[in-house]
Structure 1
């Protein structure tokens, strides 16, 4: 069997770590896999629970020569064939180890769609010369890579996948009961790290307009918003909601590892990112047959398709439009249900985790 290393600087619990976990869980019986990481985080338990060995090494910066030498030692000791990286720091260390004589194949997945500085674009282009394959999680990411000078023939498009069976299993926690939400209340949910590119301020401004519409149109509906996630901006966003006098309608749950239970307690899902390379949370919401509204922010338009009537796209920053669409789903039960059903059907085959994990395995074997 192949011996594969996945590298992370920080073992978090965001979309990247979850997509890697899902893929590893699918192929772990077909390859020997090791996780090399630098900083502990909530994602560590994910890999421990499926018995993936973890090795911690210090990675203080890009092109860390000490870390590169340690990586080379680990690869020699474990007869590693492939090193798969996911972010710039680890990628640079893997490439540096190759210059130091580490005879490995390097695969890099680009999970982000943020606009890079010229210096980062230059480094990525330099690293690509010693990288055997680059995986883009969306067509939008693929086009960004090409625009930054990465040869298209070096790129493989493999989107994130989802195990629909897992998302159909019963909830383990009664979220509505936990937060005293009755069965007649409409629950609108967002799941995202509180980082600037995730657009929480835009979402809060849209919620403010939403309640203004509710009041002006005298709509008698009980509504609560669940904002699931943690991050550097959580406190400031919470304070901003209080300033706008809408905090009583919001529940900030903090980090939750059972997001399925929160989705299953919901009626609608909102993705409000300014930049979204793919949108694994949209797949998760659709797997739970929720109506989805998303910003048209890169990879999201590859999931939500007007021709399939499987969701609603809005322009990032258009608070009025997002408020209006949230209101439309609040009062139109039939539309909400049809979007949920169509969303589920649209992802059932296209984003099947087993098939996409096999595609990744084929790249390792080439």
Structure 2
């Protein structure tokens, strides 16, 4: 099958999922074409079966803002035609679903029909799409798609309630490659971990794009409470608008020597297994991909009981859930685990088992392949399997 994928190629959940999906599809023998304004950051450019097509955007003096959505539609059309793609799979509704719709209409004028699959990831529905300026066109993009998926039951429910779309929405959850995201051998873990913390001191981790919705400052406040009771260290992976606030808080609480800012990292699978606990105090998560990646590495999460997170984390079994902003309770929960090695070990084992039994790539990728087949069959265009 020849599949065109469009996503935001920057550091964020939707781009990560789209890129990992493309990598897994290519590994399964499909031909994958990424159509974006820059190469997705998790691609090396050396993956077999993956091709990248840049979207050039002209900046004429007439335009206050470069018309990216139009340039994207034009590039989608040309790539789909030239490489004879079977379908376009766009991640994040705005503007990708609209660009794909325009590309499909242009292709129809050439006698070609290319179905569109749209995957909803979260803020395209809960934040951007819910804005009255974008709600009508977001609804239009969803309803004009030939197939729509959402990454959680929560997001599906929220989309149906707020947009009142008639389109059917299939839930295909996020996934993780359990052979890449896995625990390290004890001797390897110990040696790598020594860069950040002594063997007898806990190491916690927070991974995000440091946008306000992720509440990265809360991760530092939780950690500040923890170190009042036990020496510990915190890894902060990622970057974004709230980083300066986080740095200021670390200095204010005099813990900057215990907080390690690593910035954006391509190989987070090498860092997550070093931690004992993940901190994910988000305002809202439609799924919680960072937690899943940590769980696959045998690192349970202290997270918030919002959005799709309860579909991933069972409180007290493979992680702990708290109300948004309840820094004290989250810190206490973390301390209780750190002071009970047997309980922490059992929770870490359950976290890994959850990833393996429910969310490994080899379980989820076939769901996408089946969905593609169904969309193509409805469109009267069965794809040739590689």
The two structures have a TM-score, normalised by structure 2, of: 0.84
CA contact (8 A) 2:120 2:150 kept: yes
Q: Tell me, in whole angstroms, the C-alpha distance in 1 between the residues paired with 2:183 and 2:277.
A: 19
Superposed, 1:266-305 pairs within 5 Å as 266-305=275-314
Q: Which runs of 5+ in 1 are unaligned?
A: 215-220
Q: Tell me, in whole angstroms, the C-alpha distance in 2 between the residues paired with 1:150 and 1:3.
A: 32
Number of the residue aligned with 1:92? 98
CA contact (8 A) 2:70 2:99 kept: yes
Number of the residue aligned with 1:7? 6
Number of the residue aligned with 1:58? 56
1:136 pairs with 2:150: yes
Number of the residue aligned with 1:160? 174
Q: Tell me, in whole angstroms, the C-alpha distance in 2 between the residues paired with 1:286 and 1:359.
A: 22
Q: Tell me, in whole angstroms, the C-alpha distance in 1 between the residues paired with 2:328 and 2:48.
A: 45
1:149 CA displacement: 2.5
Q: Tell me, in whole angstroms, the C-alpha distance in 1 between the residues paired with 2:42 and 2:353.
A: 30
Which residue, out of 80, 84, 88, partners 1:83? 88
In structure 2, the CA distance between the partners of 1:93 and 1:48, relative to structure 1 (3 Å rule), is: farther
CA contact (8 A) 1:128 1:150 kept: no
Answer with 327-336 or 199-208: which moved more.
Answer: 199-208
SS, match of residue 119 in structure 1: coil
Which residue, out of 184, 193, 196, partners 2:209? 193
CA contact (8 A) 2:206 2:219 kept: no
Q: Tell me, in whole angstroms, the C-alpha distance in 1 between the residues paired with 2:224 and 2:14.
A: 31
In structure 2, the CA distance between the partners of 1:66 and 1:37, relative to structure 1 (3 Å rule), is: closer
CA contact (8 A) 1:294 1:314 kept: yes
CA contact (8 A) 1:62 1:93 kept: no
CA contact (8 A) 2:139 2:163 kept: yes
The two structures have a TM-score, normalised by structure 1, of: 0.89
Number of the residue aligned with 1:32? 31
Number of the residue aligned with 1:218? none
Which residue, out of 330, 349, 357, partners 1:341? 349
CA RMSD of aligned residues (A): 2.3
Q: Tell me, in whole angstroms, the C-alpha distance in 1 between the residues paired with 2:221 and 2:198.
A: 26
Q: Tell me, in whole angstroms, the C-alpha distance in 2 between the residues paired with 1:148 and 1:121.
A: 9
Which residue, out of 110, 125, 128, partners 2:120? 110
SS, match of residue 205 in structure 1: helix
Q: Which runs of 5+ in 2 are unaligned?
A: 58-64, 375-386
Number of the residue aligned with 2:378? none
CA contact (8 A) 1:161 1:352 kept: yes
Number of the residue aligned with 2:60? none
Which residue, out of 309, 324, 329, partners 2:337? 329
